Structure 1
Amino acid sequence: MGVAELGLPVDVPSTALFTDHYELTMLQGALAGGTAERRSVFEVFTRRLPEGRRYGVVAGTGRVLDAVENFRFDADVLGFLRERRVVDEPTLEWLSSYRFSGDVWGYPEGEVYFPGSPILRVEGTFAECVLLETVILSILNHDSAIAAAASRMASAAAERPLIEMGARRTHELAAVAASRAAYVGGFTTTSDLAAGFRYGIPTVGTSAHAFTLLHDSERDAFQAQVHSLGRGTTLLVDTYDVAEAVRTAVEIAGPELGAVRIDSGDLLLVAHRVRQQLDELGASDTKIVVTSDLDEYAIASLAAAPVDAYGVGTQLVTGSGHPTCSMVYKLVARAESADPQAPLVPVAKKSMGGKTSIGGRKWAARRLDEEGVAEAEVIGTGTVPAELADRQLLVELIKGGEVVAREALDVVRERHAAARANLPLSATQLSRGEAVIPTEYV
């Protein structure tokens, strides 16, 4: 468990400027117009899944909770807004004491979602809720995209371990978030030490080609690594000649050699050859790890290969072709007046081009078939049907501005595995298709 899961400070700066300019100008207009204090309900959802995806994965919820807690307009932030004349002085005065005091409900992190699913519901005054739009969307869109790619890769890998190693392929801060999301989606370890420090994810790593090239010979490199890290280390065997490297590796480390890594070539063919060679050399317990721009399709193509683990980088941290989930944050209900007791009125955008939304404060439940397998995502307003009462999906995350649902990352990871297992078998197909279960509105 990392320091964030323990609730300890991690030197997190204010998140208040992780937002768009117009969030603050909307606030200024609402304050001036007398509508800022109207009770409001915003919902996060996506109108469709990325093309070809059959389910989505909710990831980043824990980071959202941290971001809301740290959404504070300190002196430096207020000074920046004043200097740039983003908003007027009355608005700056209001922002100086900003603390989110509302409620947040959402799908528990690791749960799967479908088009229209109310993944997150934010309730409070319009003023305090509207400011959170951009930071919430930036976290959920990124992390859920990575987790969905990771989940597909985990399905393709079956029980074989997956190593997240994409830090060098993305922004340094995005790399930490990506590692966390990948762990939620089913990866077992990461190469990123910052992710290990912050979230307690197991970290792994041995050497790159540069270490071999540094030495006068491959033998010298292997001897140095085994001497330093032990016989159970993983030796990279494709710098020069793979067959010769495997022979040298087993000669130096013996049958106790932990693993060899292959990072290039026809991985299917090379893995079979290396497995045969290792067995002939008496290193039948030595594992084979493959890397080299893998994605879920490449992993699936290696299902019959004697591969023990996969290392994935670029394709994972870019969402395997879908780096965002296209989630939106929409006002779905607001009070008739600023009176705290005023009734809520459903509101929704009505426009051309498929961007309409459905108004009203929503509940969501997942209907199961006779075998206990998910068969529909049911969404509605008002009273939940009795037969779905124990299948509701939203849980309380923040109550009266206080976080009430922090979870260890391993709990989230286990939840996702269970949620994915509860979907129809076709959910794990890599061929393009529609959402594996329909969304029904009642």
Structure 2
Amino acid sequence: MADTIQTTQLNRARSATEHPVKRFFRATEIDTRLLGMVGALLIIWIGFQVLTGGLFLTPRNLWNLTVQTSSVAIMATGMVLVIVTRNIDLSVGSVLGFCGMIMGVLQAQILPQYLGMDSSLTWIVTLACGILIGAAIGALHGSIIAFLNVPSFIVTLGGLLVWRGATWFVTSGQTVAPMNPTFRLMGGGTEGSIGATVSWIVGIIACLAIVGAIINSRKQRKRFGFPRRPIWAEYFLSILSCALVLLAVWVATIYYWPVNIARKYAEANAIAWPEGGLQISHGIAIPVLMAIAVGIVMTFVSTRLRFGRYVFALGGNPEAAELAGIKTRWVTIRIFMLMGILCAVAAAISTARLNAATNAQGELDELYTIAAAVIGGTSLAGGVGTIAGAMIGALVMQSLQSGMVLLGIDSPLQRIVVGIVLVLAVWADTVYRTRAK
């Protein structure tokens, strides 16, 4: 008890002499690297807003930006665990393309013969098969890496070529379309969103969950005798988090259906067309909800489960992890299986959004996925990385691409910019870790 009181008094004395900004970050426990990334994202958004003449920060572009980010963000959550264990996966784009083509063939050519064209079971069977195939591919990669001791770079580089070629052989290079109507909801669009009312309900539930999590964290810290944040810091984090959630919901709800689609909807449902037009809100897109759900699950897996602790232990010191009794080979296999599953989920979103499965699907996604993880603070040296950071990194990458498209920049120059950003991110990570030692 005396030690606890003494520690508290020392912390108070140290806080009194600290700079106010440093004291603020210490009290709120905000990750400064994550905050820096958010700041960089805001700079990018404001820059493109000025350069595009006000086209970037519109509800339409921001809504489309979140939808386009979803598939890469989902894969980036898995790439964090892969890189944390000092591995790499260069095959994610090709695995996405292969799973997408298999799911496209299933629902466009095979399942209609048994379930009918518009069966409600088609999308379930399709998604389940895609996930199983993704898991099998990941298990194959992981087994070769873990048991044959082939470097992950070589295994997944081979996978990049093999699964891209296999995608072509599935249909001899033909595009497969259209997709099942229910399956297409995972791609977003006017029908693939939940509307204004449900969006606000989701936003309120999210705010309640955030406040509940902060209260529970405070109770747990008190229970185990850990230092607690000042009460003002708890209120600040609660208000800030809820404000950001409600702001995102508001932006999603002020993006309305295009006039032609709204008019067809009104005619189909015998709704009189008002003088000012019919404004039907998109709300939050389904793929965005899927990405958020994956992010929450992956955060829980990496921070709350034994498997997550094993992953970071393996990345921090492989030899020590093995001596501690961790079955490092099986951990590696499970990581790549999880990566394959996430590729399949991303493939479902991508295929549904395009309403087709193509041979070019997923090309260069491995670059964007790795870049998102690295920009998000995942160290290529292993042992360090966050799911939230990787998802923000994916948003940064997609924001760059979206802004360059609005500016009419050619695709080759876009790739040059992405490559430069990736190198700068790794350099910044190296500098940060050198100074932290």
- Shared fold (TM-score, shorter chain, > 0.5): no
* TM-score, normalised via structure 1 length: 0.21
Structure whose alpha-carbon radius of gyration is higher: 1
Q: Which structure dedicates a bigger proportion of its chain to strand?
A: 1
Q: Which structure dedicates a bigger proportion of its chain to helix?
A: 2
Higher relative contact order (CA 8 A, sep 6+): 2
* TM-score, normalised via structure 2 length: 0.21
